[in-house]
């Protein structure tokens, strides 16, 4: 009795096209190990190689009637394995690129959000400290810094001397600097003198 292991690749390919399950089993036994080694060397992952070769044989059985019965079976299987390895790499590249761009976007989003939160916090802190100034000093300071009025204009509007206005603004700045700390104070000064 003829055993399948004695058949040539071409004979097995021919029998496969005729739905011969024993021919398929022999092809699987003959090539699985070699294709697995071939795939795992390229993928550096035995798990991925196992999945890849398994899927290759599933596809071979599904498309068994399309196999060229007189073709080069080993060449066909190696080419199919190589193409699947290339697909895996292409897929990983797309995935890595997507993950990379997503991470970049999230990092940017985080930096922007972080900056906006800090800016909001800083603005609230500056506002609180201005509100804590003595009423007259606060009024003069706001007219000077927020409404951009000159010392002379403020003096005329409030019926004070220019010297008093100047002194009040100086004192307000000194208080704010000591309460806000140098960095926040400088940021505040830059914003009010844009």
Domain identity same for 91 and 141: no
Residue spans of alpha helices (H) in 132-158: 135-145, 151-158
Domain identity same for 93 and 25: yes
- Which domain covers residue 139, as residue numbers? 132-192
What is the distance, to the nearest Å, from the Cα of residue 69 to the centroid of all Cα atoms in its chain?
48
CATH number at residue 59: 1.10.1740.10
Domain identity same for 80 and 28: yes
Our count of domains for the chain comes to: 2
Pairwise CA distance, residues 137 & 5, whole Å: 102
Domain identity same for 72 and 11: yes
Q: If we measure between CA atoms, which residue out of 184, 182, 189, 175 comes closest to residue 132?
A: 175
- Using one digit for the tens of pLDDT, what is the confidence trace for 84-137? 888 887 777 766 666 666 666 666 666 666 666 666 777 777 778 778 888 888
- Using one digit for the tens of pLDDT, what is the confidence trace for 52-80? 999 999 998 988 888 776 668 888 888 88
Q: If we measure between CA atoms, which residue out of 51, 49, 6, 56 comes closest to residue 28?
A: 56
Q: Write down which residue in 70, 97, 124 finishes a domain.
A: 97
- Using one digit for the tens of pLDDT, what is the confidence trace for 19-60? 999 999 999 999 999 899 989 888 888 888 899 999 999 998
In a domain, 45, yes or no: yes
Domain identity same for 9 and 93: yes
In a domain, 109, yes or no: no
- Using one digit for the tens of pLDDT, what is the confidence trace for 123-176? 777 778 778 888 888 898 888 877 888 889 989 999 989 899 899 888 887 877
């Amino acid at each position: 009795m003829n055993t399948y292991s004695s058949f040539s690749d071409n004979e097995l390919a021919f029998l496969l096209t005729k739905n011969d399950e024993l021919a398929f089993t022999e092809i699987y036994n003959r090539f699985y190990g070699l294709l697995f080694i071939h795939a795992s060397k390229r993928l550096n992952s035995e798990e991925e190689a196992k999945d890849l070769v398994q899927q290759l044989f599933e596809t071979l059985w599904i498309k068994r009637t399309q196999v060229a019965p007189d073709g080069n079976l080993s060449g066909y299987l190696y080419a199919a394995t190589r193409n699947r390895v290339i697909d895996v790499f292409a897929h990983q590249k797309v995935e890595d690129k997507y993950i990379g761009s997503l991470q970049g976007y999230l990092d940017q989003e985080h930096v922007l959000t972080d900056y906006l939160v800090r800016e909001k916090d800083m603005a609230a802190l500056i506002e609180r400290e201005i509100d804590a100034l003595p009423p007259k000093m606060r009024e003069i300071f706001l007219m000077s810094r927020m409404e951009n009025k000159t010392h002379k204009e403020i003096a005329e509007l409030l019926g004070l001397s220019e010297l008093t206005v100047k002194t009040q603004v100086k004192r307000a700045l000194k208080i704010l600097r000591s309460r806000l700390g140098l960095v926040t104070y400088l940021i505040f000064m830059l914003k009010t003198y844009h």
